[in-house]
Structure 1
Amino acid sequence: MSTVFDLEMTVQAEHIDRLGHVNNVVYMQWMQEVATAHIDSLGLGLQEYLELKHAMVAVEHHVQYRKAAFKGETIILRTWLNEINALYSFRQYVFYRPQDQAVLFSGNTKWACVEIATGRPKRMSPTFTQAYQPLAVDINPLDFTHIDLKNE
């Protein structure tokens, strides 16, 4: 079983769109960034993918934008795995603004295991299934009470 993974982000000028808030495409980029940071922390990043000759690729996203984020704000990007099988892993995301205790965004991604050379589906190796463990059932992924901001 695994735990949640948090990545602290400060909203920059380049994240802001013409309406003055974080652009919806940026949230998608943040999903990728926090997922990548999480797998790197599990010891299963790009280098390991290349060595193993298979990788996880996104095949489906579902997102919900709840509140706007603005330049200078600190955002906690949280992710965790909630399910895994031989071919797929399912990752959840919640982006949280500690300043007002607001959930800004939630989403999930279905990731498929593929052979890098061919792009064909492949059963996950034991290396993957050992690293990609679902969130422990006793952990509430929406509990942000223990957030310790680096910027404050």
Structure 2
Amino acid sequence: MKPFETTLIVTPSDLDELNHVNNVRYIEWVQHIAKAHWQKNASSTILKDYYWVMLSHYIEYKTPAFLNDVISLKTYIINFKGATSTRMVEIYNEANKLLAKSETNWCLINSETKRPARITPEIIRLFS
């Protein structure tokens, strides 16, 4: 699946008491890039008709990030099945060293019924 990438710079509000990026911030970045990828690719009709909810999340922390580090986030879908998809997010520093990696299972929800919705071929094509 084709990846989506963005960058950010670590700010003081990203840091914990150890002066490196707080683990919770990585999870927020995972959610942020997933949402940005969805909003960039989906049409206004699809965005109106569907949204995603997180079912499960696994993150592996490799190396800390620090104030003013330039961070690259890369995300891509590794599979679709029924109403669910599995999304990978890789987070790198400017030396291209892997800082963290996550795998998240998401469920597509119909905005009207608030129930899981089978992922359509059209939605799959958006990310292939």
**TM above 0.5:** yes
More helix by share: 2
* 1:123 CA drift (Å): 1.2
> Residue by residue, what CA displacement relative to the aligned partner does 1:63-93 show, whole Å, maximum 9, x if unpaired?
0011110010001011111111221111001
1:22 aligns with 2:18: no
SS at match of 2:107: strand
1:1-152 matches, within 5 Å, as 2-44=1-43, 48-50=46-48, 52=49, 54-99=50-95, 101-133=96-128
- Unaligned 5+ segments in structure 1 are 134-152
Q: What's the offset of the Cα at 1:35?
A: 1.0
* 3-state DSSP of counterpart to 2:99: strand
Runs of 4 or more above 6 Å deviation: none
Which is strand-richer, 1 or 2? 2
Identical pairs, percent = 27
Q: Quick check: 1:64–1:106 contact (8 Å CA) kept in 2? A: yes
- Shift in Å at residue 129 of structure 1? 2.4
In the alignment, is the contact (CA less than 8 A) between 2:2 and 2:127 conserved in 1?
Answer: no
- What is the total number of aligned residue pairs between the two structures? 128
State the AA in 2 paired with 1:57: V
Partners in 2 of 1:48 and 1:71 — Cα distance?
38
Aligned partner letter, 1:98: E
Post-superposition offset of 1:125: 3.1
Query: CA RMSD of the aligned region, Å?
Result: 1.7
Letter in 1 for 2:35: T
Moved more, 117-126 or 76-85: 117-126
- 1:44 Cα offset (Å): 4.4
Q: Structure 1 counterpart of 2:40, which letter? A: S
